[in-house]
Amino acid sequence: MEQMKEDIKSWTLQELTEHMKAQGEKAFRAAQMYQWMHVKLARGFSEMTNLPSAFRAQCAERYIYTALTPVLVQESALDGTRKFLFALADGNLVESVWMRYKHGNSVCISSQVGCRMGCRFCASTLDGLERNLTPSEMLDQIYAITGITGERVSNVVVMGTGEPLDNYDNLLRFLRILTDENGLHISQRNVTVSTCGLVPKMRQLADEKLQITLALSLHATTDEKRKKLMPVANRYSIAELMETCAYYFEKTGRRITFEYSLVGGVNDTDEDARELSTLARSVNCHVNLIPVNPIKERDYVQSEASRIRAFQAKLERNHVTVTVRREMGRDIDGACGQLRRGHLHREQ
């Protein structure tokens, strides 16, 4: 039965090795297979040509081998950013983005099909959560893009559709395999996980003592204002979030990123900048300002360019390290979840 098959690409090398040994196979089989899956990025057992064909056939019967099908690829004429819409084996769709920077190629992946966090400005959450992605499906986004572009990915940001810490166990497994020296071996320092602020999971992540960057989607400086933008603010206060960020820094030595999407007339006043400076100075952090990407379902608008500059300048005067996110792929449904949603609606 299909459901009984195990998802072999979601196993760590150690688990795969133990599994193969239990099957009476030699340990080196596991190493060979792991290399096919996570280094050579094979798209199926049939490509694993140094394995006996009877063994490959047996694997195809026993295990699920996930692979993504590209449904749509859009390339920005402005900056070469490519946005991919992939179909999963069950027909669900996820989107991923490939961006080329001076310091290397970066991929932004999705961690869930849909999202249940309900942030008001975000397109990914409008239809709720469909399901979690498996570790293999998160890896596959990077593997498929590497295959299509033919270029190595050096940075991974978990900032696409979904709340990664709402899919914690799968996320951790994904991070371990992604950064494993026996796999693609992406440096932990080049991986960023972005969260809307699930406090208990942020603490748990701190205790894993990984060297990844944690990005907190803050977007407001008071609980009252944050609740209007992000329902999760009803569960965790900004004070708790700041304590948790300090804890993360203490455990990992990694500076936090505060993401702050600037929404015209909502969170972009001088007063907001002053309050954000106070929060930012209380934690070892870097602030990333994101001009909000308007979605048609909501009437939020971007702050004026001059307002964004003034906001940034105010933070700088208060000695806060701040950058304004360059808008990549503006011409190709840049905002979270817009591509998938647009496609689903066109299909209907």
Residues that bind ligand SAH (CB under 6 A): 117, 119, 121-122, 159, 163, 194-196, 217, 259, 261, 290, 292-293, 295, 335-336
In the structure encoding, which two tokens stand for residue 302, read together? 């971007």
Q: Residues 126, 177: contact at Cβ < 8 Å?
A: no
In angstroms, rounded to a whole number, what is the distance separating the alpha carbons of residues 217 and 193?
A: 11
Nearest distance from C-beta of residue 261 to ligand SAH, angstroms: 4
The smaller minimum CB distance to ligand SAH, of residues 65 and 86, is found at 86
Catalytic member of 59, 119, 285, 336: 336
Tokens of 247: 């804890």
Whether 327 sits among the annotated catalytic residues: the reply is no
Catalytic (active site) residue 61: no
**What is the spatial distance between Cα 108 and Cα 334, in angstroms, rounded to a whole number?**
12
Partnered with residue 75 across adjacent β-strands are 82
CB of 23 to ligand SAH, least distance (A): 38
CB of 346 to ligand SAH, least distance (A): 20
Cα distances from 74 to residues 61, 88, 139, 253, 328, in angstroms, run 35, 18, 21, 38, 12
Q: 238: how many CB neighbours lie within 10 A of its CB?
A: 19
Q: Is 44 or 200 the residue whose CB approaches ligand SAH more closely?
A: 200
Contacts of 347 (CB under 8 A, 6+ apart): none
120 vs 251 by CB, closer to ligand SAH = 120
Query: What's the min distance (Å) between Cβ of 216 and ligand SAH?
Result: 7
Q: Is 282 helix (H, G, I), strand (E, B) or coil?
A: coil
Amino acid at 326: R
What is the rounded distance in angstroms from the CA atom of residue 236 to the CA atom of residue 324? 26
Q: Identify which of residues 319 and 345 has a Cβ nearer to ligand SAH in the complex.
A: 345
Selection from 134, 136, 133, 149 nearest residue 97 by Cα = 149
CB 329, min distance to ligand SAH, A: 13
Q: Which is nearer to ligand SAH, 66 or 195 (CB)?
A: 195
Q: Which is nearer to ligand SAH, 276 or 336 (CB)?
A: 336
Give SS3 for 119.
coil
Please state the separation of Cα 311 from the chain's center in Å. Answer: 27
The one catalytic residue in 59, 95, 119, 196 is: 95
Bridge partners, 216 (sequence order): 195, 258
Q: Name the DSSP letter for residue 73.
A: E
Q: How far is the CB of 146 from ligand SAH (least distance, A)?
A: 22
The residues annotated as belonging to the active site are 95, 336
